[in-house]
Amino acid sequence: MAGKTAFETRYGFARNQVLLGNWRQSPFSRWSFQNVGELVPSARVAAVPGSGETPVQDFDGLLDEKVALAGGSETVAAFLTRSDTDGLTIMKGGKIVGDWFAPHMECGARHIIFSISKSLTAILAGILEGEGVFDSQAPVTRYLPEAAGSAYGDASVRHVLDMSVSLDFEEAYLDPESAFARYRRATLWNPGGGTESLAAFILTLQHLAEPHGRTFRYRSPNSDLLGILLERASGQRFAELMREKLWLPLGATSEASVTVDREGTARTAGGISVMPRDLARIGEMMRQGGMANGRRIVPEAWVRDTVSTGGDTEAWQRGTMAFLFPQGRYRNKWYQTGAASGAFCGIGIHGQWLYVNPTAEVVIAKMSSQPEPVDEPLDVDTVAFFEALSRMV
């Protein structure tokens, strides 16, 4: 019998076992989350030419430290394993102070960030708004007249940005017969796609009885629609826009990518893949009020509104995620935790996090391959873990 290949030794399965129908399932996600472009069509977002980095491996001293979580104390190393962490980068005061990678992930590898893609897309909206190209108070139909017959026909861009569209749609991640499964097929993330485009699907969605703006409803199509609105407003394709307005000015050192549908429409709600360090740089830019490398990338007023002053507390409390941040708010596709530290974050399914603690001057990028799309008890522990880690570094 032939021995295991290097791939099988590293990941515990053969490459040909990873299919479009199982790429988000464990254990295959340990590989596929770093190689989405081999399964789903993707557009490239180039980085700074000739850039490259060496990992900072001074994380070992923290691994045996204990952190207090809901179920009791646990070492940092144990939590990283329990939460299926693939890669972790920590910044303190603007400097990278530690990188940690699971055996199946290398420094410099890209990893899908799922719904943190929403947060990056909103940054582009803020940039274009600062340039006078995009208006967050405008009706959706200003940029997309064909939305008139959908739930978005009487919605504003602000409703889209703050997830307060009254949309008849559920994030049923595990139901193969749901509208969500049809949505995934339209993005080419599931088998059977290619007959309906992402934009066409979004424009079939209808209104609930409740008016827009009243309740925070986490609905991913809002964020794909935002990407389409940005393309209409700017006249640029999303990958080009991201490269020109964000990735190159940020000084990102690794190429990013975003999955696209049959028409080339970017999956801006969840299809972006980046390196952990570059994700941390996004968080640091937000901590610095929109500045990076001595230049302004995002308007300071937009960042302040996003991470501290904006958002509707009552709409958040009416939603289903208030358990995670009881005093929190949601603004421009970023979460305000309501903590005394002023912490804010972007979150993606399967354990993707970008956590920023302004008081401690700490940014943490965590990429994971958790088996379940949503694990609420683990999310609560993860927030406590970040708070503890912020005090330790």
- Residue among 123, 118, 112, 57 at smallest CA distance from 90: 57
pLDDT at 12: 94
CA distance 43 to 221: 19
CB 321 within 8 A of CB 216: yes
Residue type, position 7, single letter: F
Q: Tell me the backbone φ, ψ of residue 325, rounded to 5 degrees.
A: -130, 85
CA distance 277 to 360: 19
Q: Where are the domains of the chain?
A: 92-392
Q: Considering all CA atoms of the chain, what is the largest pairwise distance in Å, rounded to the nearest integer?
A: 65
Name the E strands within the chain. Answer: 42-45, 66-69, 72-75, 85-92, 95-101, 111-112, 256-259, 272-274, 291-292, 295-296, 329-331, 334-336, 344-348, 352-357, 362-368
pLDDT at 1: 47
pLDDT at 81: 97
Contacts of 43 by beta carbon, 8 Å cutoff, 6+ apart: 237, 238, 239, 257, 258, 260, 264, 266
pLDDT at 2: 65
pLDDT at 49: 75
pLDDT at 274: 98
pLDDT at 51: 59
CA distance 311 to 280: 23
Q: Which residues of the chain have pLDDT under 70?
A: 1-2, 50-52, 55, 57-58
Tokens of 354: 């970008």
pTM, two decimal places: 0.97
pLDDT at 175: 83
Which of the residues are catalytic? 115
CATH 3.40.710.10 given to domain 92-392: yes
Tokens of 168: 């008849």
* Helix pair 116-130, 276-287: axis angle to 10 deg: 50
